[in-house]
Amino acid sequence: MEKKAVVVLADGFEEIEAVAPVDIMRRADIRVDVAGLDRKIVSSSRGLRIETDILFEELSDADALILPGGMPGAANLAGSGKVLNSIKNLYGKGRLIAAICASPAYVLIPSGILAGKKATGFPGTESMFRGIAEFISMPVVRDGNIITSRGAGTALEFSCSIAAYLAGAKKADDIRRSILIK
């Protein structure tokens, strides 16, 4: 059965953190839909406009929900009750929730799924994890069906970690070699 991932974009998203997972998932033969939070044309934090495949409200189900960071993108995702409910729902079904940069702190913490977990996020968000989750200063952290990452510079490793989770370690390693990731 084909795996399906959804990358959710809100205005102010970080470009690399959004596009890298789409690219790597497609290389791994995972279906990827890019969902716009409340419109089909979404603007990044640096003015790049991306036309999404679907609106977030059209999301029916997914094997993975991927949340790029960037500001105010992460705050915009966190401000959506639909996003927070989808995170809780998919997490409860054992589906992968992956967040990078500001999104682990600004989106996953309010969703409640990081309680008692190990996670990472953008430098400077460490205090937001106190009393909720154990902050680990590593590029990518996986705890069960949650993958978190630090920021734009870790976007490829984050994406390969998602590919390994969904398509297997061999597929992810093949992709790493093919695009020259050490």
Catalytic residue numbers read 101
CA distance 20 to 132: 29
Q: Across-strand partners of 97?
A: 65, 146
Backbone angles phi, psi at 153, to 5 degrees: -70, -15
Q: Is residue 60 within 8 Å of residue 35, measured between CB atoms?
A: no
Q: Is residue 178 within 8 Å of residue 24, measured between CB atoms?
A: no
Pairing relationship of beta strands 31-36 and 4-9 according to DSSP bridges: parallel
For 163, residues 6+ apart whose C-beta sits below 8 A from its C-beta are 24, 25, 27, 28, 30, 171, 172, 175
Q: Across-strand partners of 4?
A: 31
